[in-house]
Copies of this chain bind each other. A is one copy, B any other.
Amino acid sequence: MKKKLTTMLYGGDYNPEQWPEKSWNDDIKIFEEADINSVTINVFSWALLQPNENTYDFSILDKIIDKFTKKNFKIVLATATAALPAWMFKKYPDVARVDYQGRRHVFGQRHNACPNSPNYLRLMQKLVDKIAQRYASNSNIVVWHINNEYGGNCYCDNCQSAFRKWLKNRYQTVEKLNSAWNMNFWSHTIYEWDEIVVPNELGDAFGPENSETTVAGLSVDYLRFQSESMLNTFKLEKQIIESYDPDTLITTNFHGLPNKQTDYASWAKEQDIIAYDSYPTFETPAFETAFMYDMMRGLGNGNPFMLMESTPSQVNWQAYSPLKRPGQLRATEFQAVAHGADTVQYFQLKQSLGATEKFHGAVISHSDSTDTRAFKEVAQLGHDLKKISSDIMHTTTSAKVGILFDWANYWSVEYMATITQDLNYTKLIHDYYKALYNNNVTVDVIDIDSDFSKYDLLVAPLLYMVKDGLGKKIEDYVANGGNFLTTYFSGLVNESDKIYPGGYPGPLKKVTGLWVEETDAIIPQNKVTINYDDKTTCTGNLVSDIIRLEGAEAIATYASEFYAGTPAVTKNNFGKGVAYYVGTHLDDSGLAHLFKYLITKIRLSQLSTNINPSLDITERHNEKNTFYFILNMSNEPQELPSEFKNNQFIDILTASQPKTTLDPWAVTILKK
C-alpha cells in the first residue's frame, strides 16, 4: 500500500527552467501568497537533462528540487519523457512516429515518440533510471508523474512488426484471424502474418484518421495494440521508479472527452491514483465536465482523483476562450472536488514567454503582477481549499447508478459504416448522463469489467460491441435483481467487430426479451413520435428499431411512420430484475420521462428533487460526516433547493447557515 496524499495539493505545472534562477524566489513568494503548496516539475525537460546521448546534466533540476524541498512544497515529479530532444531524431530517426498518411516525422511538437522504437525505449528507460535513482529518497515528492497526456498513433515498420506479433499472440493462427475479421470479404484472406499491414491511409483505412476502415476488426485491434504499446512504456517507467521508490504514488494524466487513443479502463488499472486534465470550453455544459469527473472517480474504483491540470484563467488553443467571470474559477475548480478530486492543480503556475502555449493562462501572468482580479481569485481559492482540506480529503461518493463506457465499443461505434452517419458515442452517452444529472442522481461512469452488483441501475447506451462473457455477466446481474437499460445498436458485434448472427441484440436478446427486425434511419430534419403508456408523447431521432417482442412488453410505442403502434421502449422481467430496451434516441423530454419512470420504479435516491441544470449537487462522505456540495454553475443567482433550506446544515466554508439564494458561481458545502 503506497503512501496516500496527506493534504489537498494546490498548485500545478511550473517550468522554472524557462527563467533565470534569480527569478524563482519571487515566484515562490507569490505561490505562498496564494496558499499554493505543490509544484509539478520536469515535465518537458529531457533536452535539458541530456544534451546528447552520452551526457546527462541534472544541475538545474537539482537546484529546482532543492529549492522547493527547502520551502517544503509537495513535489509532483515528472519523468520528462513526453517530448524527445532534437538530437535524438537526428541520431535515431526511428524514434519519430510515422503518421496516418505514411510519413516519417522529424523533430518537432511533443507526443512524438514511437512506442515501439527500440532506441526510444532504451533511452527512455536510461533517463528514468537516472531520475528515479537520484530523487527517490526525497520525501517531498508525493507523486511521480510519468510522461504526459499520452496519445497519438504510430504506423511505422517497428509498430507493424510488433503488431503482427501481438496479433499472433491474440489469434494464434491466421485461420482464426481470418475468421475473426471475416477476411474472405474483398479478398482479404491472409496466409502469413507478414501479409498484415498497418491500417493507415495507404492500406485498409482511409478518410480522416479512424473514420473509415475496410476491416473494423483490424482497425479496432490496431487501436488496442497502440494503446497497449503506450501503456507498456508507462509500465516500463513505473517499474523502474518502483525499484527505487516503492512507496510513492505513480500516475500519468488522463485528458480529453475522452481521449480516443488510449483505453483508460486498462490504463486505470496501472495507476496508483487517477489524474485528470480538465479543459471545458466556454460552451461546455456543466454536466459534461461532471461526466468526466464521474468517469475519473469510476476509473479509480470510487477513490479520490487528482485534478492535475486546469486553467486559472484562459487557454490558448480553444476556438474562443473568454475570461472566467468573477467567481467562476472557484466554482469550476470546486466542481472537481465535489465529484471526487483531492487536488486542484493548474497548468500553469507561470506563463511562458515564448512558443505555442504562451497565451495559456497562468497564476503568474506575463504582467508578473499579483494586483489582478485573476490572481486574487486564485489566492482566495487557495485559502478555501486549505480550510476544507482535512474535512474533505479521502471522503468518497456512493452511486447506485452506473453508466457503462467502454473504449473498444467507443472505437467500434465510431468506425461503424451503417445506415446513418450521425453516430457519436460520447454525445449519445452524454444525453443519458444528463437526464440523471438533472435529476440529481449520483452516477458512476464505469467500465464493463467493473463490479455491477453494487448498482441498482446499469445504463448501457449503444453497447454495440459485447465481448465474450459480457452478455452472461449482464444476465447474472439482472437475474440477481439488477435493472439494466440498453438501446438500439446494442449487442451487435463481438470483440473482433463481427456480428452475432441470429438477430440483434445478440447476447442481450434473452435478457431484453426481444429481437430487432430492422432499423430505420431518421434523417436529421425528421423525428419519430413516441407515445408512453401514460399518454405522454415525445420524439425520437437518429434511428428507430422495429422491435419483435419475445417476452418483453412495451412501455412506449411509435406513433408515426409505417411502424406506428409497434414497441419503442420495452421492459422485460428477468429473474429478480428488469431489462429495459430503448429502440430510438429519445429527445431530452423523452429521456426525462423515462428516468422519472425509472427513478420511481427502482426507487433511486435523488440528492434533490429540484430540477435545475445550473446546480451541480453532489455529496462526499466518510464514516463520520456527509458533505453536500451545491454549486451554482451559472452567472445568475439560483434558488437553494428546499432539501437544504434547513437549519441543520452548516456551510463549512463560511461556518454559517447557507443563503437561500445562491449568488452567481456560488460554492456551498454543507455538513449536517
Enumerate chain A interface residues (CB-CB to B < 8 A): 15, 17-18, 44-48, 51-52, 80, 82-87, 89-90, 101-110, 180-192, 194-197, 199, 201-206, 212-217, 282, 313-317, 319-323, 325-326, 351-359, 365-369, 372-374, 416-422, 493, 496-504, 515-523, 546, 562
Contact = CB atoms under 8 A, between A and B. Distances in A.
A107 B184 CA distance: 14
B45 A353 contact: no
B365 A181 contact: no
B108 A203 contact: yes
- Of A48, A109, A498, A546, chain B has the most CB atoms within 10 Å of the CB of A109
Contact of A197 (B45, B108, B195, B317): B108
Contact of A83 (B89, B187, B522): B187
Contacts of A503: 366-369
Contact of A562 (B192, B206, B325): B325
Nearest to A104: B202
A416 to B, nearest CB: 7
Contact of A192 (B87, B189, B213, B416): B87
A353 B501 contact: yes
Contact of A203 (B48, B90, B107): B107
B191 A52 contact: yes
Given A110-B186, A326-B562, A518-B372, A420 B321 contact: yes
A53 B102 CA distance: 27
A421 B185 CA distance: 40
28 contacts: A84-B187, A86-B191, A106-B203, A108-B202, A108-B214, A109-B186, A180-B354, A182-B352, A213-B356, A215-B354, A313-B518, A314-B521, A320-B421, A320-B422, A321-B419, A322-B520, A322-B523, A325-B562, A326-B562, A352-B499, A354-B497, A359-B419, A366-B499, A366-B501, A367-B501, A368-B502, A368-B503, A372-B517
Given A86-B195, A367-B515, A359 B418 contact: yes
A216 B355 contact: yes
A549 to B, nearest CB: 13
A354 B47 contact: no
B181 A354 contact: yes
Nearest to A353: B499
Contacts of A368: 501-503
Given A86-B195, A214-B355, 10 more contacts: A44-B186, A47-B183, A87-B190, A215-B354, A215-B355, A321-B419, A322-B419, A353-B498, A367-B517, A374-B518
Copies in the assembly, this chain: 3
A202 B105 contact: yes
Contact of A109 (B51, B106, B214, B325): B214
A47 B184 CA distance: 8
Contacts of A47: 183-184, 187-190
A353 B498 CA distance: 6
A189 B320 contact: no
A185 B18 contact: yes
A523 B18 contact: no
Contact of A191 (B51, B184, B366, B502): B51
A521 to B, nearest CB: 5
In order of increasing CB-CB distance, the 10 nearest A-B pairs are: A182-B354, A108-B204, A108-B203, A86-B195, A83-B187, A47-B189, A367-B503, A185-B355, A353-B499, A359-B418
Nearest to A354: B182
B365 A518 contact: yes
Contact of A107 (B90, B204, B325, B357): B204
B321 A83 contact: no
B187 A354 contact: no
Given A44-B185, A184-B48, A195 B87 contact: yes
Nearest to A496: B354
Contacts of A282: 521, 523
A314 B203 CA distance: 27
Given A214-B355, A504-B366, A417 B195 contact: no
B184 A18 contact: yes
Contact of A316 (B185, B197, B418, B562): B418
A181 to B, nearest CB: 6
Nearest to A198: B106
Contacts of A101: 101, 103
A207 to B, nearest CB: 11
Contacts of A372: 517-518
A372 B519 CA distance: 12
Given A187-B47, A204-B109, A355 B181 contact: yes
A205 B109 CA distance: 8
B107 A195 contact: yes
Contacts of A562: 325-326
Nearest to A185: B355
Given A182-B352, A497-B354, A202 B366 contact: no
A357 to B, nearest CB: 7
Contacts of A204: 107-109
B504 A417 contact: no
A354 B521 contact: no
Contacts of A84: 187
Contacts of A366: 499-504
A47 B189 CA distance: 6
A521 B80 contact: no
- Of A180, A197, A326, A353, chain B has the most CB atoms within 10 Å of the CB of A353
Contacts of A46: 187
B186 A83 contact: yes
A518 B373 CA distance: 9
A46 B106 CA distance: 36
B107 A15 contact: no
- Of A47, A201, A373, chain B has the most CB atoms within 10 Å of the CB of A47
Contacts of A52: 191
Contacts of A202: 103-106, 108
B108 A521 contact: no
Contacts of A80: 187
